[in-house]
Structure 1
Amino acid sequence: MARLYQTRLHTGESLAAAVAVTLPKGQAHYLRSVLRLSPGDRLALFNGRDGEWLAEISDLGKASALVTPLEQLRPQAVEPDLWLVFAPLKHARIDYLAEKATELGVSALCPVFTQRTIVSRVNEERLLANAVEAAEQSERLSVPEVMPARKLEAVLADWPAGRRLLVCDETGGGRPISEALADNVSGGNAVLIGPEGGFTETELDGLRKLPFVTAISLGPRVLRADTAALAALACFQAIAGDWRQGRPDFRG
C-alpha cells in the first residue's frame, strides 16, 4: 500500500475521528513555510495516547493550523519501560544523546549530577525538543518523558520499587551485559551512565550496595559516555526489549 503521508507531527491534543486539532505557531510555520503544504494535504499525528492518525489540513495560517483526523493508522502500542539515567554532556553531544536514545526507545530521559559531572545546567526544554523531533522521524508512537535534572543521590533516594537499575561500571567489575539482561525482570528497567571522568569509587561502592542495582560491563574497551549509553540501550533492546519482535509491516 502506498504511504498516505510524508509528515508526522507530535501533538499534546487528544485524537479522534473528525475532531479538529489546533497546531501551534511553530508547527504551522513548519507546515507552511518549510514543507510548503496547504489545506487539503495530509499528514500523520500522534500524541502518545491515542495511536497514530491520518489527518488532513483544514486551515493553515501564520499563527496556527487546523487539522482534522480522518482515520487511525495504528493503535497505541505498549513500549519498553526503559529509562536512561545519565550525567549531562556538553552542547551538541547531549542533543545527540537525546535524539539517539529516543530512536532506541527509551521511555524517560533522566539527567543526574554526579561528583565528576562538569555540566552544571541542563536545558530540559531543548532535550524535549530533540526527543520530539526524533520520535517524529523514527515513527515511534510516544515521546520520552524528560525528568528534571537532580543530584544522583536524590534520584537514588526516590527510586521506584521494582525498577532495576543497570549501572555501566567502567572499572570492569560488573557482569557482562548479555548475562545480566538474560535475567527475567518483571518490572521496569533503567540504564545509568556516568560522566566522562567516570564515577568516583565512593559512588560505585554506594551503588553496588543498593538492592535494585546491577553493575554491568560493556566489554574490554573504555567508551565515551554517549557511546556507552547507546551501546547499553541497543543491547537491552536486542536481548530484552522490542527488537526481538522485529518491525511490524503496519503500512500494508
Structure 2
Amino acid sequence: MGPMSSIPRLFVSLPLSAGNHIQLDDSQGKYLTRVMRLNDGAIVRLFNGKDGEWQARLELGSGKKVFVVPDEQTRQQVAAPDLTLLFAPLKKTRTDFVVEKACELGVQHIQPVMTERTQSSRVRSDRLQSVVIEAAEQTERMDVPVVADDVPLLKALDAWDPSRPLYYCDEAGEAHPMAQTLAETEYGPAGILIGPEGGFSEQERAKIRSLPFVVPVTLGPRILRAETAAVAALTLWQSMVGDWRERPYLPDTRIA
C-alpha cells in the first residue's frame, strides 16, 4: 500500500474536476464525519471510474450536508482487464464473498447466472453493486466492476460474444489444467464460468461443452467449493495473462 492509503477513499458517480463541489450522500457523509471524525478542510481521495483519482477537501455545509471539492488529479485512469465472471449465486454471504473477491482480483463484469441446481433465489444486483464499490474503495482499484442482473445460464451463453474464450471450470469432465491452458494463451478479453454447488446438470454440461468458444479447464484433483473455484480461477488468469504480470498487459492502459 502506498503512503496515501491512510487517507479515506470514496467512489462518487459524478464527474471529477478541480473546484467542482460534490454533495455526498448521507451514508458517505456520516462515514467521513462520524466514523472517521474528519473536520472541515480534511483531505480525502475520490474516484469515479472515469476521471482518475483526485485529492479533495471536505466542506461541511449547512444542516447535515457534506461536500467534497476536488483540488488536483493524483492518479490517471487505468483500464482493468476485460474479464467477465459468470457464476451461479450462492447463499447470501457466500455470494457477497464471490463478488467482493472478484472485484479485488480485477474482474470488469460480474454476471450471476441461474442454473438447474442453483439453490439461491434471485440476487439483488443493486446490493451487490454496493459490495463491489466498497471493495474498490479499499483496494485502490481505479474502476468499479458492473454487477448485472441475474439471467438464466442458457440466456447468458446465447448472448456471449463468440470471439471471447469462456473458460469453463469443469470438475467432472475431461479437460486440461487451467494453468497449462493459459500458458499457451495471450491476453485478450475473456470470461470464466463457475458452476453452482453440486455442479451443472448433465444437460447443462452438454450444452456448455458444445459451444465453440468454451474452453473446459480443471482446477486440480480436488472438488472445490464454488467460491474457492472462483478465486482460484481468477487468480490463475490474472497471474498468467492478466495484470499481475511484471509488465503491463497493454502498452498503455490509460483512458483518454
**TM-score, normalised on structure 1?**
0.93
Q: CA deviation at 1:246?
A: 7.3
What residue number does 2:163 align with?
162
Partner residue in 1 for 2:45: 44
Structure 1 residue 183 displacement after superposition = 3.4
8 Å CA contact 1:5, 1:44 repeated in 2 = no
Equivalence map 1:186-197=2 (5 Å): 187-197=188-198
Query: Which residue number corresponds to residue 181 of structure 2?
Result: 180
d(CA) in 2 for partners of 1:2 and 1:242?
22
- Aligned-pair distance for 1:182? 2.4
Work out the CA distance in 2 between the residues paired with 1:18 and 1:197.
Answer: 54
CA distance in 1, matches of 2:63, 2:214: 51
State the percentage of identical aligned residues: 45
Decide whether the 8 Å contact of 2:60 with 2:67 is kept in 1. yes
Output the CA distance in 2 between the equivalents of 1:104 and 1:70. 30
Q: Residue 53 of structure 2 contacts residue 74 of structure 2 at CA under 8 Å; is this kept in 1?
A: yes
**Contact map agreement 1:175 1:216 (CA 8 A) in 2:** yes
Give secondary structure in 1 for the equivalent of 2:73.
strand
Judge conservation of contact 2:187–2:242 (CA < 8 Å) in 1: no
Q: 2:71 aligns to what? A: 70
Structural mapping, 1:67-106, within 5 Å: 67-106=68-107
CA distance in 1, matches of 2:5, 2:220: 44
What's the secondary structure of 1:26's corresponding residue?
A: helix
Q: Cα distance 1:149–1:207, how it changes in 2: closer, same or farther (>3 A)?
A: same
SS of equivalent to 2:244:
helix
Give the 3 Å change call, closer, same or farther, for CA 87–143 of structure 1 in structure 2: same
The answer to whether the aligner puts 1:19 opposite 2:20 as a matched pair is yes
1:35 pairs with 2:47: no
Name the CA distance, whole Å, in 2 between partners of 1:60 and 1:238. 46
State the Cα distance separating 1:154 from its structure 2 match.
Answer: 0.6
The 5-angstrom pairing of residues 201-212 of structure 1 reads 201-212=202-213
Aligned length: 247
- 2:52–2:142 contact (8 Å) kept in structure 1: yes
Which whole-Å CA distance do the structure 1 matches of 2:139 and 2:166 have between them? 26
Q: What are the within-5 Å matches in structure 2 for residues 55-66 of structure 1? A: 55-60=56-61, 63-66=64-67
Change beyond 3 A, Cα 1:153–1:222 = same
Per-residue deviation, 1:64: 3.5
Counterpart of 2:166 in 1: which secondary structure?
A: strand
Mean Cα deviation higher: 187-196 or 60-69: 60-69
5+ residue gaps in structure 2? 249-256
Deviations 1:182-216 (A, max 9, x none): 23356411111000010112111111111111011
| Residue 150 of structure 1 pairs with residue 151 of structure 2 | yes
- 2:64 and 2:165 map into 1 onto residues whose CA distance is 45
Instruction: Report the RMSD for the aligned CA atoms in angstroms.
Output: 1.8
Instruction: Tell me the alpha carbon deviations over residues 89-141 of structure 1, each in whole angstroms, 9 at most, x when there is no partner.
Output: 10211111111111001101110001111112102122111101000000000
Pairwise CA distance, 1:61: 5.9
Write the distance in 2 (CA, Å) between the matches of 1:234 and 1:186. Answer: 14
Partner residue of 1:250? none
CA drift at 1:5: 5.4
* Aligned 8 A contact 2:187 2:241 in 1: no
The offset of 1:157, in angstroms, is 0.9
Distance 1:42 1:50 in 2: 18
The 3-state SS of whatever aligns with 1:244 is coil
Kindly state the Cα deviation for residue 63 of structure 1 after the two structures are TM-superposed. Answer: 4.5
Paired residue secondary structure (1:80)? coil
CA distance in 1, matches of 2:185, 2:239: 14
The code of the aligned residue for 2:72 comes to: E
2: CA distance between counterparts of 1:151 and 1:185?
30
1: CA distance, partners of 2:78 / 2:100: 21
Partner of 1:220: 221
Question: 1:34 offset after TM fit, Å?
Answer: 1.0
1:125 is aligned to 126
Unmatched runs of 5 consecutive residues or more in structure 1 = 248-252
Q: Is the 8 A contact 2:162 2:212 kept in 1?
A: no
Could you tell me how far 1:245 is from its partner in structure 2?
Answer: 3.0
